[in-house]
Structures are given as C-alpha cells and as structure tokens.
Structure 1
Amino acid sequence: MKVTVERAQLLKSLGHVHRVVERRNTIPVLSNALMRAEGASLRLKATDLDIEVVETLPAEVATGGGITVPAHMIHDIVRKLPDGSQVQIETVGDKGTLAVRAGRSRFTLQTIPEGDFPDIAAGEMSHRFELPAGHLKRLIDKTQFAISTEETRYYLNGIYLHVVDKGGAAMLRAVATDGHRLAQVEFGAPEGAAGMPGVIVPRKTVAEVQRLVENPEESVTVELSTAKIRFRFGETVLTSKLIDGTFPDYARVIPAANDKVLTVEKGEFAAAVDRVSTVSSERGRAVKLSVADGRLTLSVTNPDSGSATEEIEVSYEADALDIGFNSRYLLDITGQIDGDTVELKLADPGSPTLIRDPAGPGALYVLMPMRV
C-alpha cells in the first residue's frame, strides 16, 4: 500500500474513527484502525466489537492494499504534523511495518494484518429512514443526561428509540430514564420509520453520534434491525449493536393528573437553585421548594456546613406546597429548556413532578421528589 493524503482531511477522519477504540485492549487488533487504499480513496475503520465507525476520504493511491495500525498513535502523529502538509503512508517490505512521512518527519509503526480485523457491520437492516441531523441531535441532547449509569440495570443504559401513535399521527420518540428522572422528546416520524422495532441505543453510541453531527442541516440516514443500528453521515458510517433488553413501561410514571401549576423564569430559578445548593451535602444535594401565594422559597439545610434560603416570584395559584428535589437533577432539566420559563406540574410531596418547556413542544421531563 502506498497512498498520499492531505493532513487536515486525514486528521478529521481519524478523529471520527479513533474515538471508539478503547485505550486498553486484551485483543491487540482492537487497538488498531484499519486503513485500506483503493481507487482514489482511503477507507479508515475502527471498532470495539460493539461499535464500528468507517470513514472514506479522497487520496492519491499509488498502490492499493490494507493494513491495521495503532489508532491512537496514528491520530497523535497526524495531529502533530504541520498544517497543510501532505502525508505519505506506505507499507514497508515484508517486515509488517508502516512508514508515515510528512515533510522532514518520518515514523515507522508496527502493524497487524488486515485479515485479523473483525467486521461487525454485516447483516440485513429491516428499516431505513432519513431525518435532518438537527432533529437527531435534539433527540439526543434533550434525553442523554437521564441515561442510567447503573450497570446492573443495563436496559436503562441507553436511549429508547421507538415510534408511537399520537392522535393518529406517527411520532418518533426518544426516552431515557435512570429511575430518578425521565426525559422524553418526540417529533413527526420520518417516512420509513413506521413499524420499526423499539430499540435501545447504548450510551457510548449515543455520545459518538452526537459528536458526528457537525452540520444540523445535513441529512442522516438511519438503518436498523432488532440487533443493530447504523447512522450514515455523508462519508462517515457508524454501526452499533443495540442493548438486548426490554425498556420498562415508562408511560406509567408520567403523571397525568398533576393539577398544581408552577411557572417560573428559567434563568432566575436555575441561578437560585445553584446558589442555595452550594451548602448542600455532596451525597444528598437536596433542595426544598416551598411555594405559596406567588412566591417560591428555596432552602437547603446541611447539619455539617450550614443553611441557605432564597425567595423568587413565581406564578402559582394552588394550595401551598413543600417538596424536595435533588438540586443537580433540577439543574440538568432546566438546562434542557429552550424558552424563558419553566412549567412544573405538581401533585404532592411524594409524587413525581411533570416539567414542561412552554417553548419546546414535544419535550417533557419527570422528576421524582426527595424527602427533606
């Protein structure tokens, strides 16, 4: 193999593929990225056996062929090369090494044969649809924070992507929950999504897809089956295994009868929660909300460090209520609100609270209260 590539393009492509490679691997070839030169392009591929990313970039190919090289090392080398340089990549003799040249720099890297590299992308996809990258990014951005990190409840370690019927209209919905809070976002299902199986997209895959959305206006092709999902962003293709589990019946925890409506200015509310939680304990993070007669009093009491209170004006016409929440969870949710106000629908101190964004239809959040 002998190929010449423009440094900026190579760096961008390596940036997309090398991230899926774990720093520590018991299987040596999984530390490597596959490089294959053919025609007028160079194809890069990396995998951790759960996710595979493939990217194709234009190149001057003198001799075709394929080899695998340490992914993080080749990325670091190209990153440190001078801007605007041409990078020449060439396999050397029978020693199984790869020479990388740019200007006066020369590197020789150990390789592993292409035949040892695994392929997880095979298999038929039963459903295929396209949607704007901005829509996909919104589904992820608004729900990702609620993904559980508890490995024993593995079926919560991702975003549940499925199609629902809402008033006769098909909606593509994303849901994530960790048992303490729930985030749900939806919009009109694109053509081809109808009848798709409900799938749980793993947390690491979600993070990689989020990074690959560079232009919200471009179109993303999504293909999926009951076992795998594939995202195509132009010349970049990410294929991932899905979480093999059953997502819980989340609709049961979304309250429908909460009749105490509290409307508060988002920025003022978030700043007040942040200030009073300064004295909260690292473990509890509990903040008490006392609401009555158009006023909300936020208070935190920590026996080890002291207490704090702050009062803000709100819109609230129901009976007085005291309720406690984890302050970090409150801030996570207010951080997803697009508009200037937040609407909290309350029931009683022991029941889940429904939080809506008046300016962001299609998104809702549920937060479980804490004892304070």
Structure 2
Amino acid sequence: MKVTLDLALLRDAVAWTGRAVASRPVSPVLSGMLLEAEGDKLRLSAYDYQISAQCDITAQVAEPGRALLPARLLVEVCKSLPRKAVELSLSEAEMIVRCGTAEFGLLTMPVDDYPKLPAPPNPSAVVSGALLQQVAGQVTAAASKDTTLPMLCVVRFDIEGENVWAAATDRYRIAGRTFAWSTIPPQGKKAAPPAFMMVPAAELESTVKGYGSGQAEIGWNDKLVSISGAGRLTTIRMLGEDYIDYRARLKLDYQTWAQVDGASLIAAVKRIGLVAEKSTAVRLSFSDGQVLVEAGGGGLGRATESVEADVSGPPVTVGFQPSFLLDGLVGVDTPRVRLGMNQPAKPVMVTEDADHPEYRYLVMALRLG
C-alpha cells in the first residue's frame, strides 16, 4: 500500500472517523482504524459494534492495499504534521508516514482480525446536512447522560411521511423539534421501515458534525440507522421502541406568555447565575413590561437584573436550574423567545417566536422557598 494525499483531507477524515472508536473498546482490535487504498481513493473505517464510520477521500494510489493502525495515535500524528502533502507507505508491519522532513513509523495491527462493518439500511429520506445538524443540536441537550437509563439517552424520531418529530428527555426537561425531509421511494418490494427511530444521543451529536454541507441520506430498519453523504457513511445501532408520549406534554396551553429578546435573557441568566448556589434557583418574575432575574441571598451574595418583556396573562414567578434553562434558550433560532407558564411550580415552555413553533423545550420549574 502506497498513497499520497492532501494533509487537510487526511486530518479531517481521520478526526471524523475516529469519533467511532470507543474509549474502552471491547476488543483490542477495535481500537484501530482501517485504511483501504484502491483506485483514486483512500477509505478510513472505524467500528465499535454500536456505531460504524466510513470516510472516502481522494488520494493518489500508487499501490493498493489495506492496513489497521492505532486510531488514537493516528489522530494525534495527523494533528502534528506540517502543512505539506502526506505519503503513506506500508512496509511489512510498519506504516511509514512522511510529511515534509517529518517521518513516523507506526506499527500496524492484525488487519485480518478486524470485524466486517454492518451493511447500512437502504436510504429512505434525504435532508439538508445543515438542518440535520441544527435539529440534533437543539434536542440532544435534553437527553440524559446517565447510561444506567439507556432509554433516556436517546433522540426519538417519529416519522409521518415527510414530516418528522425529534425529541429527547432526561425526565427534568423535554426538547422537541419538527422538521421536514424528502422521502426516497423504496427499492423493490422491501418492507417499509418502522415509522420511528431511537438513536443514541451522544452518537448522533458527534456524527452529524460531518454532514454540515450538502445533503444527507437517512436509512433505517428495526436495528440500524444510517446517515450518508459527502463521501461519509455512518451506521448507529438503535435502541428499543418504548418512549414517553412527549407530544402530549409539548402542547401550548399556558395562562401566561412572555416574549423577550433571547440574547438579553441568556446574558442576564448567565450573569445572575454566578451567585446561584447548587441548591438554589435562578428566579424569573414576569410582570407588565419586564422579567426580573434574581439569584443568591446565601453565602455567595445576591444579584438582580431586569429585561424588557411583553407579558400577557397573570404575573408569575418561576425558578430554574440555570443550565437547564439556558439549554432551552440557546436552542431557539429566532431573535425573540417565548416562554409559557401556568403556576410557579409547574413546567415552563420555551419556544421560538412563532404561532406554530417548530422547536419546543419544556423545562421543570423548581419549587421556590
């Protein structure tokens, strides 16, 4: 195997593919990244039984071949190389990496022991990569990080033709987003895929970062989700189908609504949150013409700040854990944010400034003393 290629292409491909390498692989061979050179391309692959990643990049292939290299070391080596063309050449059990006057000899791993990657489902829909990235960014923040509760560590996609709901929850908040994609007619007489996907949130968030430009094709069956586009292919193993009825909880029936500039409210919550202790809340009081943001009064001190707001309905004061509220506010992509409230201890709805918002974030309010 002998190839020459652009450093920027290699560096980007190695970094993206390396996301699929587990930090604690179940088998030593899964700590490797597979390189396969043929024709005019170099393919990089990684797999950990939960997620697989393949990335094809253009290369001058003098000698085709394949090799398995330690993934983490390869990522770091590519980061360190000077900005020049890179040559990779396999010499017995060593991969020679030359770039300018720098040369590395990386010991290879047993390539024949590397497992076969799963076959991806046929594509069933196509969507803008930028939109997919935006949706994932809006909802994954609400997914649980507690891996002992795997069914809360997912993003649920409910599919109704070209209309899709995406949602995540950790029991303390729910983030939901509607969007549209274009369907792809099924090939042959294959059975229609399930009308939902349960995708692990961490894997989804890291994966979609590679599809920010162009279109992404989505495929799914009862076991796997696939995302492909721009020379990249990812498969992610799905979890089961049990999930809460989140759409019933994301309705917009609230007594009090407030419209406020999102950037101003985010800045105020961040500032006032500096004096909020772990066991206390940031309090937001909504009344005519303003929202008063308050925190503290304990061992760290206190702080207040008012932000202009259009408030309709009875005045109400609610308390939040600052990070939970901020996760919802930053997900709004309109300049003004809408907040819907009923009573001080009831959940609060955060949406974009629209009559039929695509993004909805329901966050549990803390009981105020």
Q: Which residue of 1 aligns with 2:116?
A: 119
Q: Give the gaps of 5 or more residues in structure 2.
A: 186-191
Whether the aligned pair in 2 keeps the contact of 1:36 and 1:64 (CA below 8 Å) is yes
Q: Note if 1:279 corresponds to 2:275.
A: yes
Q: Which residue of 1 aligns with 2:22?
A: 22
| 1:151 match: secondary structure | coil
Q: Note if 1:173 corresponds to 2:135.
A: no
Q: Which residue of 2 aligns with 1:248?
A: 244
Q: Which residue of 1 aligns with 2:313?
A: 318
CA separation in 1, counterparts of 2:122 and 2:233? 17
CA separation in 1, counterparts of 2:301 and 2:45? 55
Assess, with a 3 A threshold, how the Cα gap between structure 1 residues 99 and 131 changes in structure 2: closer, same or farther.
same
- Of residues 186, 203, 206, the one that matches 1:205 is 203
Q: Note if 1:104 corresponds to 2:101.
A: yes
CA separation in 1, counterparts of 2:194 and 2:181? 11
Assess, with a 3 A threshold, how the Cα gap between structure 1 residues 207 and 347 changes in structure 2: closer, same or farther.
same
CA separation in 2, counterparts of 1:87 and 1:207? 32
Q: Relative to structure 2, which stretch is displaced further, 222-231 or 11-20?
A: 11-20
Q: Note if 1:31 corresponds to 2:21.
A: no
Assess, with a 3 A threshold, how the Cα gap between structure 1 residues 367 and 44 changes in structure 2: closer, same or farther.
same
Q: Which residue of 2 aligns with 1:371?
A: 367
Whether the aligned pair in 2 keeps the contact of 1:161 and 1:175 (CA below 8 Å) is yes
Q: Which residue of 2 aligns with 1:190?
A: 182
Normalising by structure 2, report the TM-score.
0.90
Q: Which residue of 1 aligns with 2:337?
A: 342
1:16 CA displacement: 1.6
CA separation in 2, counterparts of 1:23 and 1:195? 32
CA separation in 1, counterparts of 2:343 and 2:160? 30
Q: Which residue of 2 aligns with 1:291?
A: 286
Deviation by residue 1:240-261 (Cα, 9 ceiling, x = unmatched): 1112352211123224431211
1:201 CA displacement: 1.2
1:321 CA displacement: 1.9
CA separation in 2, counterparts of 1:126 and 1:239? 11
CA separation in 2, counterparts of 1:108 and 1:332? 45
CA separation in 1, counterparts of 2:284 and 2:351? 17
Q: Give the gaps of 5 or more residues in structure 1.
A: none
Assess, with a 3 A threshold, how the Cα gap between structure 1 residues 261 and 106 changes in structure 2: closer, same or farther.
closer
Q: Relative to structure 2, which stretch is displaced further, 228-237 or 318-327?
A: 318-327
The one-letter amino acid paired with 2:104 is F
Q: CA RMSD in A?
A: 2.3
1:196 CA displacement: 4.1
CA separation in 2, counterparts of 1:297 and 1:86? 58
1:220 CA displacement: 0.7
1:82-161 to 2 correspondences below 5 Å: 82-92=82-92, 96-122=93-119, 125=121, 128-161=124-157
Assess, with a 3 A threshold, how the Cα gap between structure 1 residues 99 and 317 changes in structure 2: closer, same or farther.
closer
Q: Between the two proteins, what is the percent identity of the paired residues?
A: 25
CA separation in 2, counterparts of 1:211 and 1:29? 26
